[in-house]
Amino acid sequence: MLYISPQMLQSVWCTAMCVVKV
């Protein structure tokens, strides 16, 4: 199972939010 670090999750979340706002 792939381990997702909090930092990585935050980065993905920020990217997702940026895409939604654009």
pLDDT the model gives residue 22? 73
Cα 4 from Cα 20, distance rounded (Å): 22
pLDDT tens digit string along 1-22? 678 788 999 999 999 999 988 7
Specify the pTM. Answer: 0.40
pLDDT the model gives residue 3? 81
pLDDT the model gives residue 21? 81
pLDDT the model gives residue 15? 92
Nearest to 4 by CA among 18, 17, 12, 20: 12
pLDDT the model gives residue 1? 63
pLDDT the model gives residue 18? 92
